[in-house]
């Protein structure tokens, strides 16, 4: 789905007339939560995949920022919200191991949760990978920023991107004050 500011009018169409200033491009930040990747033990694979997927949706993407699990995740999220990103997508730290703390860090930043997003992401992966049910990822809003936790595996990232591709532009439009589309109309 192409963000409205990137759409071009069809042949014979007139550009919409508006007194409002043009909207700024959609901005996204990618944060990878991984003790080992942040220490250079292995390369981050999920973060670049997310950045590529978000760019394909028309977002200007910063990151991935690779940080250790725990408090550094919360710090990165708070900095991203303060910087005014429309979306922050994390990867990693959503499982059940003792060091997986991304959901807790995220919850401390959120104003309210949007539970349908992680439910849809888990459902997307369950048919192929039963362990997708072990993901504890969250999604929610902090100020006007949507934050979404994706699993650390590339498969989990792909499942998450499949879901986000269907709703992310609409969600950002809503956070920017857009109206709900009428039934049957494009969002």
pLDDT per residue as tens digits for the range 58-68? 999 999 999 99
The Cβ-side half-sphere exposure at 11, using a 13 Å CA radius, reads 0
Instruction: Give a yes or no: residue 131 inside a domain.
Output: yes
Instruction: Give a yes or no: residue 150 inside a domain.
Output: yes
Instruction: Give a yes or no: residue 149 inside a domain.
Output: yes
Q: In angstroms, rounded to a whole number, what is the distance separating the alpha carbons of residues 90 and 73?
A: 9
Instruction: Give a yes or no: residue 153 inside a domain.
Output: yes
| pLDDT of res. 181 | 63
| pLDDT of res. 121 | 97
Instruction: Give a yes or no: residue 184 inside a domain.
Output: no
Determine the 3-state secondary structure of 123 from DSSP: helix
Instruction: Give a yes or no: residue 12 inside a domain.
Output: no
User: Looking up tokens 């993407």, which residue turns up?
Assistant: 61
Determine the 3-state secondary structure of 32 from DSSP: strand
Q: In angstroms, rounded to a whole number, what is the distance separating the alpha carbons of residues 27 and 29?
A: 7
pLDDT in tens, the chain (187 residues): 444 444 433 333 333 333 344 467 899 999 999 999 999 999 999 999 999 999 999 999 999 999 999 999 999 999 999 999 999 999 999 999 999 999 999 999 999 999 999 999 999 999 889 999 999 999 999 999 999 999 999 999 999 999 999 999 999 999 999 876 655 555 5
| pLDDT of res. 19 | 37
CATH number of the domain at 120, please.
3.40.980.10
Q: Which domain holds residue 82?
A: 24-175
The Cβ-side half-sphere exposure at 181, using a 13 Å CA radius, reads 10
| pLDDT of res. 16 | 36
| pLDDT of res. 10 | 38
- For residue 130, how many other CB atoms are within 10 A of its CB? 9
Prediction pTM value: 0.84
| pLDDT of res. 131 | 94
Q: Are 137 and 105 in contact (CB under 8 A)?
A: no
Q: Are 16 and 124 in contact (CB under 8 A)?
A: no
CA torsion, ordered 92, 94, 49, 6, to nearest 10 deg? -120
Task: Give the DSSP H or E segment for 79.
Answer: helix 71-82
Domain count of the fold of the chain: 1
Instruction: Give a yes or no: residue 19 inside a domain.
Output: no
Task: Give the DSSP H or E segment for 158.
Answer: helix 154-175
């Amino acid at each position: 789905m192409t963000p409205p500011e990137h759409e071009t009018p069809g042949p014979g169409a007139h550009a919409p007339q508006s007194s409002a200033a043009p909207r700024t491009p959609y901005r996204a930040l990618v944060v990878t939560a991984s003790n080992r990747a942040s220490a250079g033990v292995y390369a981050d694979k999920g973060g670049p995949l997310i950045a590529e997927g978000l760019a394909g949706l028309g977002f200007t993407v910063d990151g991935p920022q690779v940080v250790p699990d725990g408090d550094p995740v919360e710090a990165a999220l708070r900095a991203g919200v303060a910087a005014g990103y429309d979306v922050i997508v994390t990867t990693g730290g959503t499982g059940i191991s003792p060091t997986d703390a991304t959901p807790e860090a995220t919850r401390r930043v959120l104003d309210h949760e949007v539970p349908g997003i992680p439910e849809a992401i888990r459902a997307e992966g369950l048919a192929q990978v039963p362990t997708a049910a072990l993901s504890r990822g969250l999604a929610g809003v902090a100020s006007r920023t949507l934050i979404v936790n994706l699993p650390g595996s590339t498969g989990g990232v792909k499942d998450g991107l499949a879901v986000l591709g269907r709703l992310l532009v609409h969600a950002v439009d809503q956070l920017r004050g857009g109206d709900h589309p009428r039934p049957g109309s494009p969002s």
